[in-house]
Each structure stands twice: as C-alpha cells, then as structure tokens.
Structure 1
Amino acid sequence: MIDDITALRESWSEVEPPSAGAQDRARAALLARITERQATVPTGPNRRRRCLPAWAWRSGLAGLGAAALVAGVVAVGGLGPATPPARPAPYVASGPVAQTFELAAVHAETEPFTPPRPDQWTYVELRMVRGKIAQDKGQATRETTRSWQRADGRQSAVMLDGRLEVSTESSDLPQAMPPQGYPTLSGLPTDPRALLDWLGARSPSGRGGDEVAYLLIESMLRDNVLPPGVKATLLRALALIPGVTRSGEPVDFDGRPAIAMGMVQDGWRQEDILLDPTTHEFLGSRTVVVQDHTTPEGVSLKKGDVEVELIRVAGRIVDAPGRTG
C-alpha cells in the first residue's frame, strides 16, 4: 500500500556517469563561472535578497507531523506560461554552497537528453525508507514506488499492490504546485532569479518564503523529467536561497557516500538534497531531525534521527504505462 506517497510523480531521466572528457569540460566551465561571479558579487547595502510571501506549504507526510515533504501537489489557478521577467537580476552566488550547486548544475548540463514525444511516458522508481513516525502509524518502513506520467501531462499511472492503475485522461493540462507535466516544466525560466520569482508569483496569495521555494525545487528535482538547462537552473536557484548549508563530510545515504545540501524547516527537521560526491549527480532527498521533537501524535524524535529517505532508483522515458524500459 502506498498511502501517503501516492502523489509521488512522474519521473526523472536516469543518466550514465559522465566521461572523463565531460568531467574535464565541466570543471573548466565551473572554474570560469566561479571566477566571473566572484568578480561581480555585490557587497554591502546594494546586495539584493529575494523575498517571497510567507506561508507553510505542506503535503505528502504533512499528516505525520510534517516529518517530510514527499512530492505532494497543491492545485492552484492561473499557472500560465513560464515567461521570465524582461530584465531578470544577474545570477550571482559565491561560497561553498554555491560552488557545490554549480558543480551539480554543470553535471546536469552534460547529461544526454532527448525530449519525449507527447504520446510517450516518463517512468520513475523511488525507494522510500521511513522511521519512527511510520512505525507509530503502522506503515511500511521500506517501500518502492513505480509511477508514470504521459509526457503531455494529461494522464498518469501508478503501480498499486502489483496492479497498474491508470488515471482518466484530463482535457486540460493540470495547474499545480509544484508544477508538473513536461510542457510546463520545459518552459520554466532558465534564469535562477527569474525561476524563484516565477515560483513565488504562483504560490497562493499572501504565502511563500525561502523554505517553501526550497521544498518546491527539491520536489521538482526528484519527481520530474527536465531538460538539462531547466534542471541546471533549479540547482543554481538553490544557491540563492538563504539558509541552505553543506555537510562538511560525505554522509551515508542508502549505503553510499553523498554530499548533503540541507535547509532547516519548522525549527526541528532538516530537508537534505543528496548529491554524488564525485559527479555531483542528484541522488534523492531525506529528512533528518536536528532538534528533539514530539509530534502531535506523541512520537518522540531525537536529534540525528533520519525519518525519511527517498532514493531515486531509476527514471527514463518509455512508450507506455507499466513499462520500465
């Protein structure tokens, strides 16, 4: 049974490790970008900080005491075309966090990619590991989800208890946050600040915030198939969000080392984005308790507990729902 992760979606392209030549080109491009940006980073009162309206966006595991955001969708109106402002602010970021996300962005730009046909489907397989909250609710602590979405965004499918469930075809492209459907995703702004503004403008009126932008981007990276340029923009946008930190040493993620790029949410949990320490490929996400906390249901969580791990196992374009390759 999938329950709180039935909203997990629609897929990410699986990539091969980059060749030595691709890595060399990526390093050269990164050094060039870092040199350019460090020379243009504004200081003092002229430095800009993006502000979005404040709100607490919750879904997925929200009913479990907000232990983690697991790719839920909030329907909104008027998503409209993803048109960036005429004059977006220059992308400038520096420091270890920005450099790490830049490496991840350069890796994304080197990934092979062929846009899907409208009649094709994207397939994603995620492995989920859950902790104390799931145990308290009698839920499975380990679970694998397999889901599909038609490339035109009008139909989806999921494997439930070994049975393929295909949704009714929609006559309209869904309007949702995080955005979904390849037509919307492929049209997102490719300037990092413009992308953050795009997300903020489509949050419900009077709501928003850096924490929300981080969660939206985390979900979009994990649960969609994106053109390399859009994926790279999402990673660079994360570098502009205040409060994002980088782990000093690689952490264990599903039995392998990973760089954790995290942001504290609600004062007690940190939402981490996990990157391969060598290639900087996106691996998945996790929720770590950073302060002792008791949920409304009375579950006691201790600092250091890993409550949720979402590992991206596979993602690719297929010709029909139910197919995995």
Structure 2
Amino acid sequence: MDEISILRGTFDPDAAPSPAAEQRARDALRDRMAPRPRASWRLRLPIVVGLTTSAAVVVAVAIANLGGATPVTPANPAGPGQRPDQTQAAATVPYLRPANAAQVLENAAWTVEQEQWADPAPTQFMYVETQEMRNPPAYEQKAPNGALLPGKAKYRKIQTWNRIDGQVQATMRNGKLDVLQQGRDGVNFAFVPWSQVVKLTTPDAIAYYMKHPEGGVMAMPDALAGQYVLPPEVKAAIYRYLAQQPGMKVNPDAVNLDGHPAIGLGRVVEGYLSQELLFDKETYTLIGERLIAVNDESGKGDGRKGDLYRQVIYRKMAIVDKLGDTN
C-alpha cells in the first residue's frame, strides 16, 4: 500500500490535520508531561520544529538495586563484530529472568551493544519510521490534549529524516516530502548536535549533558533513544542512565504492539501518568513508547485509569544517504 492510501485509510472521511493542528496537539501533550519550566530547547515528541520552554531534570545518582536474579556471562555467538540473531541475543543476555526495571534495561543495553555500526558522514540522514496512534483529526483539533478514543484512534505512519549536521529536516506529508532548512525563511527546529550525541557514552556523560547541553539544545534521553539513530554505545548508556533514575518501574500490565508482547518501563508523572518505553519481551529490543494513566487524575481532571494518551511503534531506524531513502 502506498503512502497516500495509508493516509486516506487512516483519516477519511475527515481531512488530514493541518501542520498547525498537529503541532498544537504535540505541544499540549508535552505541556501535560513537562516539569517546572526553564528556558532551553527540548525534544520530547517526534517532529518538534519550534522553540520551546521546558524543564531541567533532577539527575539521580543512586544506582538501582540489581539483586534478585542471577546474572549470566554475556557472549556473542555470532563472533566478534557480528550481530547475533534475536534468539541468540535473548539466550545470552545478562539476566535470563530479570526481576526489576534495572535488570531489563541492562539486558536492553547488552542487546544494542551487539549491533554493528559505522559512523555517518555529516551529509547523511537519520531515517526514523514509526506508527503513531492518533485521534480523528476533527476531534484532535478540539481536544489536542485528550486521551485516545477507543475504537476511533488509528495508527498513522510517520517518516522523518534529519541530516547529521542538523541543517535539514524532512517529513512525509500527503505522499510528498516536506523539507525544512535550518534558518531559512525564519525556520528553526530543535536538533541535538551530533558532536554532543557521540559524547553520551556513559551514564555520567548523560547526567552532565542534562545540566550542560551543547548550544542549549536538549532532548530527554528516552526521546533520543526513540527519535535518533544512535551509536550502540550511546543507546546502551541511555538505558543504563535510565536504570539509575528513581521511580523507574516495570508496568505489570500486558502490552501488545502489533503482535509483539512488550515490557513497559517508565516512571509516573503528574501522579497518574506512566511515561514508558516498550521493549520486546524476548529480545529486549526497543519497539515503542506509550503514555498511559495508571491512576485516576486528581482534582478536576477527567483522566481515568487505563486512558491511553500516546502509543508509538518504532518501525525502522537507519542511516541513509539522501532524503526519501528508507534503506
């Protein structure tokens, strides 16, 4: 099925939402999730193309308890420099029966460390393809901050390209590339410099970056993991950094993403929303993210336990040579 058919099947009989409506929805959801503000660039949701105000994150240094399971010695059955298949990866992770979030994240870190990687050129692009669940456009414009409507919200294919030098960003819209160039026609979009990204190889480096981002451009570590095509050691460091954060828990509720049983790992924000990364239960590969109410919203809010506010499936992440490439 081509891109236009997918969009028609997703949004008919309503017209597709305008770029402004999409941005309002994202801004509203970001406001729901953001802590106390300070001036900086911040990435949390995909396709952020504006200057935002957001918050510093308190960096915790207490390391999570790794007790409760017997670790096994990692090995790479495929040989040095080769990526094992999913069955091999699942059979040789550090914790065969992870007992807590820290152990799941250590398994995820080990898994990405088996990936092959070649450093990209400044003129190459990060290509990220996702399926994002969205409300019908008419409802979304009226209630951009609302929960996803059961039976009415549908997945939409999202394709983005970001040039490694941070000067070009593009999305696929109605079957055509919508290209932005940094600084042209008053356009400025948030982009963490690649020179910053490649430094994030340890939890300590990430903690420092959270307080001292290059050029004032900062993305939450979990957002980097889902929106950037990262070197394996950077992804591994992000997972180990998250394992050190207070309140990181495994959501015991079963999650199924397009036939893939998933483990939800995250923290509760605003007292009732669980902000989660979703990992494959067998391979510990990152396969998506979601924002779900795990308690009723207090006060005058209308959020109810079980309400789903965001759900994204990560389909493909790759370094490509030019705009429009997907492999």
Counterpart of 1:185 (choices 197, 201, 206) is: 197
**Pairwise mapping of residues 246-285 of structure 1 onto structure 2 (< 5 A)?**
246-248=250-252, 250-285=254-289
Shift of 1:182: 2.8
Counterpart of 2:105 (choices 89, 95, 101) is: 101
Paired residue for 1:194?
205
Paired residue for 1:14?
none
Deviations along 1:127-169, one digit per CA (max 9) or x if unpaired, are 1113599845367743211110112222111112222121225
Contact preservation (8 Å) 2:271, 2:297: no
- Name the SS for the 1:312 alignment partner: strand
Contact preservation (8 Å) 2:182, 2:189: no
- Name the SS for the 1:122 alignment partner: strand
**Percent of pairs identical after alignment?**
29
Counterpart of 1:292 (choices 285, 293, 296) is: 296
Inter-partner Cα distance in structure 2 for 1:112 and 1:135:
43
Deviations along 1:42-82, one digit per CA (max 9) or x if unpaired, are xxxxxxxxxxxxxxxxx934358627952447759xxxxxx
Q: Return the letter of the residue paired with 1:270.
A: S
Deviations along 1:14-68, one digit per CA (max 9) or x if unpaired, are xxxxxxxxxxxxxxxxxxxxxxxxxxxxxxxxxxxxxxxxxxxxx9343586279
Question: How many residues of Structure 1 are paired with residues of Structure 2 in the alignment?
Answer: 250
Shift of 1:304: 1.0
- Provide TM-score, normalisation by structure 1: 0.65
Cα distance change of structure 1 residues 264 and 249 upon mapping to structure 2, 3 Å threshold: closer
- Name the SS for the 2:309 alignment partner: strand
Cα distance change of structure 1 residues 67 and 253 upon mapping to structure 2, 3 Å threshold: farther
1:114 aligns with 2:118: yes
Inter-partner Cα distance in structure 1 for 2:271 and 2:234:
30
Shift of 1:97: 1.6
> Structure 1 stretch 227-236 or stretch 196-205: which is displaced more?
196-205
Contact preservation (8 Å) 1:154, 1:181: no
Inter-partner Cα distance in structure 1 for 2:271 and 2:260:
28
**What is the CA RMSD across the aligned residues, in angstroms?**
3.9
Inter-partner Cα distance in structure 2 for 1:150 and 1:204:
17
Shift of 1:241: 0.4
Deviations along 1:174-197, one digit per CA (max 9) or x if unpaired, are 9987x6243321122x22133123
- Provide TM-score, normalisation by structure 2: 0.64
Contact preservation (8 Å) 2:64, 2:243: no
Counterpart of 2:28 (choices 55, 59, 62) is: 62
Cα distance change of structure 1 residues 232 and 316 upon mapping to structure 2, 3 Å threshold: same
Inter-partner Cα distance in structure 2 for 1:129 and 1:301:
18
- Name the SS for the 1:243 alignment partner: coil
Inter-partner Cα distance in structure 1 for 2:29 and 2:262:
29
Paired residue for 2:75?
none
Cα distance change of structure 1 residues 225 and 251 upon mapping to structure 2, 3 Å threshold: same
Residue ranges of structure 2 left out of the alignment (5+ in a row): 1-16, 35-43, 53-60, 68-99, 145-152
- Name the SS for the 2:120 alignment partner: coil
Contact preservation (8 Å) 1:123, 1:316: yes
Contact preservation (8 Å) 1:152, 1:182: yes
Q: Return the letter of the residue paired with 1:166.
A: V
Paired residue for 2:83?
none
Inter-partner Cα distance in structure 2 for 1:204 and 1:265:
27
Contact preservation (8 Å) 2:64, 2:102: no
Paired residue for 1:33?
none
Inter-partner Cα distance in structure 2 for 1:295 and 1:74:
31
Cα distance change of structure 1 residues 249 and 289 upon mapping to structure 2, 3 Å threshold: closer
